[in-house]
């Protein structure tokens, strides 16, 4: 059994012992999506009427929407009726022997040393694990409760803190926001809920670990983080999935709310299964992430390292509503083999003296296609708004592509917006120089790539930065001959 499966199992066992979840059925709904499915999901979770109504409204709206075609990615049409929209894990993990685990995935974890979850648990990081569609366990509950921090599975929050959920759910990403957000709003199964009360600095790094396991299952989790006045939280998100020949859809929604003087730091290391060398299989990662800096002096910072998924469609954004609020986006996106990524951010400046920084590093190798797509919008009343954007692309090999689509819309004279972009390659002369000094090619490439990504790594919590670096070197393995 892989150590990471073992760990999950361990969590599950602990969970049952503590009685958090009492009624886990080993069930999955049949494939297909209709109002009945939405009602069933809601009923299984024993949800209040308002939430069911909210889901149904989202579902009805979703039916009127078209899948977006503007991203610079290509994939065959998705059959939304052949997908399973709800699957709860059995008490035993599905993977029982190593034979069932993709050897490449195992190799990956071997190369990573110990699994990330264990490492985090040792380091004292509170973890919420979402296995397929359902939250498995939340650790360090006690420490957090003592601090007044609420950190629990979303479904639990619906039962225990319905007022909070109702107040903030959909307040940043409305149910009708876009095709995938509407779909998520209709069928979301679980996710994490996090609430930091006024003046509290969250004593632990919070983390959610997502894993898609079941076949033919879409994963639709929802994360909601609220930081009240003066609160601080750092939140980490990691994801993996086993190798499957067919593509799987992951359409998550993340909403962040920061009130006066509050700070939210959200870091992601996304390592969904990217498909094989020929582009077979892999996750479609179509995610809506958005934060609202509601209060004055609030700050939301997104850091992402995107190495996985067959297709990534994701624009973690910040609405800078409060005066003096700050939005940041730091991103490393790697596309190797046949991977495609269309990712970037939106910074919407509404308040005075608002500031945003965008640092995006795209790395393309093999046949990978990597696009940065971003919007910087300065509204009329956003006096003295500042934005700095830098989008750099690194190409490894001559079959890949790097693209930049920045939108800049300015409606205020006192604002300053700067966008810079550059494209470079890992030069043969650089590699030659390294090798002449005794550094093997692979290490030289890693060195150059790491140097290229340094500004983003600096933003990651330490243990995540280490993991990100390793992941990157693994996903680029063999891309330079």
Partner 1 sequence: MIVTETTSYQEQFERFEQELGADKPQWLRDLQRRGLARFRELGFPTTKLEDWRFTNVASLAKQDFIAPLTPRVPGQVHDAGELAAQALLDDSFHRLVFINGRFAAEFSRIGELPEGVQVNHLEQVLRTQADQIGEQLGQQASLENASLTALNTAMFQDGAVISVAAGVQLETPIHLVFITERDEQAVASFPRSLIKLGKGSNVQVLETHVGSPGATYFTNSVLEIELDDEAELDHYKLQSDSIAAHHIAATHVHQRGQSIYRNHYFAFGGALSRNEIACTLDGEQVQTILNGLYMISGDQLADCRTRIEHAKPNCESHEMYKGILDNHARGVFNGRIHVHPDAQKTDAKQSNQAILLSDDAVIDTKPELEIYADDVRCTHGATVGELDDTALFYLRSRGIPEPLAHKMLIFAFANDVVQGAKIEPLKKYLEAVLLADHGLPQV
Spatial separation of the C-alpha atoms in residues 440 and 431, rounded to whole Å: 9
> In the complex, what is the shortest distance from the CB of residue 313 to partner 1, in angstroms, rounded to a whole number?
16
For 33-54, give the DSSP string. -SHHHHHHHHHHTT--HHHHHH
Of the candidates 63, 82, 100, 424, which one interacts with partner 1 according to CB under 8 A?
424
> According to the binding rule CB under 8 A, does residue 17 interact with partner 1?
no
Between 216 and 412, whose beta carbon lies closer to partner 1? 412
Could you tell me how many residues of this chain bind partner 1 (CB under 8 A)?
Answer: 36
> According to the binding rule CB under 8 A, does residue 416 interact with partner 1?
yes
> According to the binding rule CB under 8 A, does residue 419 interact with partner 1?
yes
> In the complex, what is the shortest distance from the CB of residue 330 to partner 1, in angstroms, rounded to a whole number?
20
> In the complex, what is the shortest distance from the CB of residue 81 to partner 1, in angstroms, rounded to a whole number?
28
> In the complex, what is the shortest distance from the CB of residue 403 to partner 1, in angstroms, rounded to a whole number?
5
Q: Are 326 and 354 in contact (CB under 8 A)?
A: yes
> According to the binding rule CB under 8 A, does residue 417 interact with partner 1?
yes
Spatial separation of the C-alpha atoms in residues 330 and 84, rounded to whole Å: 34
Contact letters for partner 1, residues 328-367 (x by CB under 8 A): ----------------------------------------
Window of 5-13, 42-50, 57-65, 421-429 that interacts with partner 1 by CB under 8 A: 421-429
Q: Is 213 helix (H, G, I), strand (E, B) or coil?
A: coil
Between 57 and 403, whose beta carbon lies closer to partner 1? 403
Strands 253-258 and 282-293: parallel
Between 127 and 417, whose beta carbon lies closer to partner 1? 417
Residue with tokens 């149904």: 56
> In the complex, what is the shortest distance from the CB of residue 345 to partner 1, in angstroms, rounded to a whole number?
15
> According to the binding rule CB under 8 A, does residue 418 interact with partner 1?
yes
Contact letters for partner 1, residues 51-70 (x by CB under 8 A): -------------------x
Window of 48-56, 110-118, 230-238, 418-426 that interacts with partner 1 by CB under 8 A: 418-426
Helix (H) or strand (E) holding 119: helix 116-122
Spatial separation of the C-alpha atoms in residues 228 and 86, rounded to whole Å: 33
Between 255 and 342, whose beta carbon lies closer to partner 1? 342
For 132-200, give the DSSP string. TTEEEEE--HHHHHHHT-EEEEHHHHHHH-HHHHHHHTTSSS-TTSSHHHHHHHHH--EEEEEEE-TT-
Q: What are phi and psi of 37, to 5 degrees?
A: -60, -45
CA angle 177, 180, 183 (to 5 degrees): 95
Residues 114-153 that bind partner 1 (CB under 8 A): none
> According to the binding rule CB under 8 A, does residue 480 interact with partner 1?
no
> In the complex, what is the shortest distance from the CB of residue 362 to partner 1, in angstroms, rounded to a whole number?
10
> In the complex, what is the shortest distance from the CB of residue 452 to partner 1, in angstroms, rounded to a whole number?
14
Q: Are 125 and 204 in contact (CB under 8 A)?
A: yes
For 226-270, give the DSSP string. EE-TT-EEEEEEEEE----SSEEEE--EEEEEE-TT-EEEEEEEE
Residues 376-415 that bind partner 1 (CB under 8 A): 378, 380, 393, 395-415
Between 411 and 435, whose beta carbon lies closer to partner 1? 411
Between 82 and 416, whose beta carbon lies closer to partner 1? 416
Between 159 and 423, whose beta carbon lies closer to partner 1? 423
Residues 71-110 that bind partner 1 (CB under 8 A): 72
Q: Is 452 helix (H, G, I), strand (E, B) or coil?
A: helix
> According to the binding rule CB under 8 A, does residue 32 interact with partner 1?
no
> In the complex, what is the shortest distance from the CB of residue 404 to partner 1, in angstroms, rounded to a whole number?
4
> In the complex, what is the shortest distance from the CB of residue 448 to partner 1, in angstroms, rounded to a whole number?
13
> In the complex, what is the shortest distance from the CB of residue 424 to partner 1, in angstroms, rounded to a whole number?
8
Spatial separation of the C-alpha atoms in residues 50 and 56, rounded to whole Å: 10
Q: Are 173 and 179 in contact (CB under 8 A)?
A: no
Closest CA to 337 of 280, 286, 391: 280
> In the complex, what is the shortest distance from the CB of residue 119 to partner 1, in angstroms, rounded to a whole number?
35
Give Cα 272 distance to the centre of its chain.
10
Spatial separation of the C-alpha atoms in residues 327 and 61, rounded to whole Å: 30
Spatial separation of the C-alpha atoms in residues 299 and 293, rounded to whole Å: 6
Q: Which residues bind partner 1 (CB under 8 A)?
A: 70, 72, 378, 380, 393, 395-425
């Amino acid at each position: 059994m892989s150590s990471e499966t073992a760990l999950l199992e361990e969590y599950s066992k602990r969970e049952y012992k503590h009685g958090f979840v009492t009624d886990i059925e080993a069930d999955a709904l049949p494939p297909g999506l209709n109002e009945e499915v939405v009602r069933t999901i809601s009923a299984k979770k024993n949800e209040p009427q308002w939430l069911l109504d909210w889901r149904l409204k989202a579902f009805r709206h979703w039916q009127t929407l078209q899948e977006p075609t503007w991203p610079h990615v290509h994939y065959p049409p998705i059959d939304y009726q052949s997908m399973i929209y709800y699957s709860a894990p059995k008490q035993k993990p599905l993977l029982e022997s190593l034979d069932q685990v993709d050897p490449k995935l195992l190799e990956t974890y071997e190369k990573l040393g110990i699994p990330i979850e264990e490492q985090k648990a040792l380091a004292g990081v509170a973890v919420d694990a979402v296995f397929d569609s359902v939250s498995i366990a939340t650790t360090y509950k006690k420490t957090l409760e003592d601090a007044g921090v609420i950190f629990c599975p979303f479904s639990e929050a619906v039962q225990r803190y319905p007022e909070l959920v109702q107040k903030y759910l959909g307040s940043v990403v409305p149910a009708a926001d876009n095709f995938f957000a509407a779909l998520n709003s209709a069928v979301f199964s679980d996710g994490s809920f996090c609430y930091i009360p006024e003046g509290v600095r969250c004593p632990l790094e919070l983390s959610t670990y997502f894993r898609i396991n079941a076949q033919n299952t879409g994963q639709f989790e929802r994360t909601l983080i609220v930081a009240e006045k003066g609160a601080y939280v750092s939140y980490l998100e990691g994801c993996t999935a086993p190798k499957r020949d067919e593509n799987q859809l992951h359409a998550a929604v993340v909403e962040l709310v920061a009130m006066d003087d509050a700070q939210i730091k959200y870091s992601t290391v996304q390592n969904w299964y990217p498909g094989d060398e020929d582009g077979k299989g892999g996750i479609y990662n179509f995610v809506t992430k958005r934060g609202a800096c509601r209060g004055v002096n609030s700050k939301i910072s997104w850091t992402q390292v995107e190495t996985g998924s067959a297709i990534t469609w994701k624009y973690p954004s910040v609405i800078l509503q409060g005066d003096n609020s700050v939005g940041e986006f730091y991103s490393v996106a790697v596309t190797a083999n046949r991977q495609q990524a269309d990712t970037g951010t939106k910074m919407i400046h509404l308040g005075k003296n608002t500031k945003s920084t965008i640092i995006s590093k795209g790395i393309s190798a093999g046949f990978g296609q990597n696009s940065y797509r971003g919007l910087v919008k300065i509204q009329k009343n956003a006096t003295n708004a500042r934005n700095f954007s830098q989008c750099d692309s690194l190409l490894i090999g001559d079959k890949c592509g790097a693209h930049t689509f920045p939108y800049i819309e300015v409606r205020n004279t006192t604002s300053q917006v700067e966008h810079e972009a550059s494209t470079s390659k890992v030069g043969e002369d650089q590699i030659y120089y390294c090798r002449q000094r005794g550094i093997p090619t692979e290490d030289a490439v890693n060195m150059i790539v790491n140097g290229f990504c340094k500004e983003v790594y600096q933003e990651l919590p330490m243990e995540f930065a280490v993991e990100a670096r390793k992941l990157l070197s693994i996903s680029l393995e063999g891309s330079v001959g």
